[in-house]
């Protein structure tokens, strides 16, 4: 059972030893208690920046060789990024907070710049930043926090799968287009984060529970195969 931290306890930085992160030191001081409980202006700014840059990057990939309007592809890209990236990161945060930790997303602007650059070559780079965690958690709890991100992506993709694979009577074409776009983005983001090396989620899941890692990786691989088939 997770132990809730007392208000007078000192926070310690877990990142990046276990959870998906780059370098927490540039974001938080290890001995400073957070001012905000749910979110902060910094988190809101970083989420907005990540959503904007990823939307532009995914737009270039979606629109390559397409014949629809700019507005059409921008809308598809924005919906996919918000539903895929935002749910992924907030899933990490919700589970971490459930274990009594402070958790907030911080963008990595170098990686976001790389994502934008790679999109010109038709490749989606899915490492926009990390949910930074402060608190006392075990490797098992940290594995579950890490699993929440890719797991949420696969659940979103699973919900989109029928609309991607089948033509359903009475369902507008735009719904199928949204489902296909969201499916691809979510599956790619989830599979990308299953890389079993730091600082990706897969490294912590592998450290915590190898059968869970293998099952999740196989599910992500199968869904990724469907995305490209």
d(CA 62, CA 74): 9
Please tell me whether residue 196 adopts helix, strand or coil conformation: coil
Q: CA of 78: how far to CAs of 57, 131, 146, in Å?
A: 10, 21, 24
d(CA 203, CA 56): 29
**Active-site residue (options: 15, 43, 89, 104):** 89
Supply φ then ψ for residue 129, to 5 degrees: 155, -150
d(CA 125, CA 192): 9
For residue 2, give the DSSP letter. Answer: P
d(CA 33, CA 7): 9
* End-to-end C-alpha distance for the chain, whole angstroms: 43
Quick check: is 89 catalytic? yes
Which residues does 11 contact at the CB level (< 8 Å), separation at least 6?
5, 30, 31, 32, 33, 34, 102, 134, 135
Residues of the chain by 3-state class (helix, strand, coil), percent to 5: 60, 5, 35
**Active site (catalytic) residues:** 89
């Amino acid at each position: 059972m997770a132990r809730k931290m007392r208000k007078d306890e000192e926070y310690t930085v877990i990142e990046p030893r276990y959870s998906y992160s780059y370098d927490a030191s540039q974001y938080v001081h290890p001995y400073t208690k957070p001012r905000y409980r749910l979110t902060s202006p910094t988190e809101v700014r970083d989420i907005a920046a990540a959503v904007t840059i990823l939307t532009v990057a995914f737009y270039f990939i979606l629109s390559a060789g397409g014949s629809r309007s700019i507005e059409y592809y921008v809308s598809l890209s924005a919906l996919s990024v918000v539903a895929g990236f935002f749910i992924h990161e907030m899933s990490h945060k919700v589970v971490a907070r459930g274990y009594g930790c402070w958790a907030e997303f911080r963008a990595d602007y170098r990686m976001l710049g790389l994502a934008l650059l790679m999109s010109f070559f038709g490749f989606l780079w899915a490492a926009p930043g990390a949910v930074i965690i402060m608190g006392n958690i075990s490797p098992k709890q940290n594995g579950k926090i890490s699993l929440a991100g890719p797991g949420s992506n696969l659940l979103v993709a699973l919900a989109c799968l029928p609309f991607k694979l089948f033509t359903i009577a009475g369902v507008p074409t735009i719904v199928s287009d949204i489902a296909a776009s969201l499916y691809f983005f979510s599956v790619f983001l989830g599979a990308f984060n299953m890389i079993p090396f730091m600082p990706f989620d897969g490294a912590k899941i592998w450290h915590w529970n190898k059968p869970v890692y293998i099952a999740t990786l196989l599910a992500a691989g199968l869904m990724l195969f469907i995305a490209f088939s």
